[in-house]
């Protein structure tokens, strides 16, 4: 275990969307199990209601509840225009994002996700952002075009992309956000899910190794 640090110099944060405790399988995820043993962990965490993507990302990255940060849903109905308005722009976020606070403290910041809407929603304070539609050409040459967003492979692509960003750009703070499609599609005991968890764990371990744990913190939540 690395020696205790007085103040972290870098940080790596994962939001594994839909990662119910039933999917935390130490036998198939030894890298994750090792992180849990080495640090602090709980399987009793609770998300913010309503349990929606945009609401929970913004709650996590502002440290506030919807009543303060301004997002209470993914979209709303505008009675004046009689249209649905998707809350996917950073202008909806009323509180400072963690990226902004870290940027003000002199940290470089990066986001890797599958969903383009998250790069729009969370863009304040970001030095670099990569999603399946807007990633730089150099990464496309390395990893190829992203798979379908409604697939297990999309999250493996996200983790590999994050590994590339960590090695090439070395951001002080890297936020990695996956989709919840795999957990909506498959239960924890299905063979395809177990293979997916094992491969995810391997890439996650490689990504963590890109950070010096003697001066970095790693956070994984769902």
Evaluate if pTM is beyond 0.85.
yes
Q: Domain limits at 156?
A: 10-44+96-221
Alpha-carbon distance of 96 to 113, in angstroms, equals: 20
**CATH number, residue 173:** 3.40.720.10
- Report yes or no on 90 lying in a domain: no
- Report yes or no on 81 lying in a domain: no
Distances in Å between the Cα of 150 and the Cα atoms of 44, 78, 153 are 28, 29, 9
pLDDT at 40: 92
- Mode of pairing for the β-strands spanning 83-86 and 75-78: antiparallel
Q: Structurally, how many domains does the chain consist of?
A: 1
pLDDT at 85: 93
CA pseudo-torsion sign 130, 207, 61, 156: positive
pLDDT at 2: 54
Span 71-95, average pLDDT: 95
Tens digit of pLDDT for each residue in 12-51?
Answer: 999 999 999 999 988 899 999 999 999 999 999 888 999 9
pLDDT at 134: 78
Tens digit of pLDDT for each residue in 88-129?
Answer: 999 999 999 999 999 999 999 999 999 999 999 999 999 999
- Report yes or no on 55 lying in a domain: no
Alpha-carbon distance of 177 to 222, in angstroms, equals: 9
């Amino acid at each position: 275990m690395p020696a205790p640090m007085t103040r972290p110099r870098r940080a790596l944060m994962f939001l594994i969307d839909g990662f119910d405790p039933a999917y935390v399988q130490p036998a198939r995820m030894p890298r994750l199990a090792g992180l849990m043993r080495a640090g602090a962990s709980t399987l009793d965490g609770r998300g913010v209601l309503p349990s929606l993507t945009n609401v929970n990302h913004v709650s996590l990255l502002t440290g506030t509840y919807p009543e303060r940060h301004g997002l209470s849903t993914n979209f709303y109905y505008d009675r004046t225009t009689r249209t649905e308005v998707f809350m996917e722009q950073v202008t909806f976020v009323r509180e400072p994002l963690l990226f902004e606070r870290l940027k003000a403290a002199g940290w470089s910041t990066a986001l890797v996700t599958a969903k383009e809407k998250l790069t729009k929603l969370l863009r304040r304070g970001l030095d670099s952002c990569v999603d399946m539609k807007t990633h730089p050409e150099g990464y496309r040459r390395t990893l190829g075009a992203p798979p379908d967003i409604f697939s297990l492979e999309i999250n493996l692509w996200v983790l590999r992309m994050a590994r590339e960003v960590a090695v090439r750009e070395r951001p002080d703070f890297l936020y990695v956000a996956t989709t919840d499609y795999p957990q909506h599609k498959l239960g924890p005991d299905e063979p395809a899910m177990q293979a997916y968890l094992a491969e995810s764990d391997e890439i996650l371990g490689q990504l963590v190794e890109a950070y010096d744990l003697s001066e970095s913190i790693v956070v994984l939540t769902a």
